[in-house]
Amino acid sequence: MSDPDRTSRRDFLRTGALAATGLALAADDAFAQEALAPTPACHGGDQPTPRQTEGPYFTPRSPERASLIEPGMNGRAIELAGFVLTRACKPVARALLDFWQADVTGEYDNRGFRLRGHQFTDAQGIYRLKTIVPAPYPGRTPHIHVKVQAPSGRVLTTQLYFPDQPGNRSDGLFRPELLLRVAPTGEGLAGRFDFVLDQS
């Protein structure tokens, strides 16, 4: 099992290494063409990413890690990736991203740090997070919480949503501007979202 896994992971990372110019994060052609434009999806003067409530389940001081997947964890794997940008489309290096989410049963780990982790964008302003698709829980469509902060910048707290979820229509917090672009890959799903911070 480890071989195909590792191969896919390597492929993903190698494809990702081309990202500085092409951001072809996934092998899937349709996804690459549709979702992964050669430059960040930002046009200067773009609206900043909308803020959303933190909710009751944030835990500070999460571990630094790019994968939240742990041995024995159930759920459909997804690798999120994208830029952190300013309104002027400048990639933000060393931006902090702190993610937290429910598991495949809709539960948060409020004692430990399961499905919680922070990381920093690289020199190109790119982040990558390997995790699972969270389940809905009462009143909420599936979502991933995140705080994003440029070095010494203001914290953007928001949530990311998944396309084609029935709960998106009934969840009052859902906003289409916060939808991930999701496509299947060999080993799971790839999701793309670029954050635009409210700074020039």
| Euclidean distance between CA atoms 176 and 165, whole angstroms | 12
Does 167 sit near Fe ion (CB under 5 A)?
A: no
Pull the structure tokens for residue 41.
């999806």
Could you tell me which stretch among 17-25, 33-41, 52-60, 80-88 binds Fe ion (CB under 5 A)?
Answer: 52-60
- The minimum distance between CB 181 and Fe ion, in angstroms, equals 21
Nearest 10 degrees: Cα torsion 136, 160, 30, 14: -110
Indicate the residue among 27 and 73 with the shorter CB distance to Fe ion: 73
- Asked if residue 155 lies in contact with residue 95, where contact means CB atoms within 8 angstroms, the answer is no
CB of 118 vs Fe ion, minimal distance in Å:
17
Give the interface segment with Fe ion, choosing from 2-10, 51-59, 119-127, 174-182 (CB under 5 A): 51-59
The residue within the footprint of Fe ion, chosen from 9, 27, 54, 55 (CB under 5 A), is: 55
- In the block, which residue shows the tokens 């300013």? 86
Pick 40 or 134: Cβ nearer Fe ion: 134
Tell me the C-alpha distance between 92 and 85, whole Å: 5
State which residue, 27 or 179, has the beta carbon closest to Fe ion.
179
Closer CB to Fe ion, 22 or 55, in the complex: 55
- Indicate the burial class of 60 (C-beta count within 10 angstroms; 0-12, 13-18, 19 or more): exposed
**Interface region with Fe ion, contact rule CB under 5 A, candidates 20-28, 47-55, 161-169, 176-184:** 47-55
For Fe ion, the closer CB: 48 or 55: 55
Cβ count near 71 (within 10 Å): 4
Nearest-angstrom CA–CA distance, 26 and 16: 8
Q: Which of the stretches 1-9, 49-57, 125-133, 167-175 binds Fe ion when contact is defined by CB under 5 A?
A: 49-57
Which residues make up the interface to Fe ion (CB under 5 A)?
Answer: 55
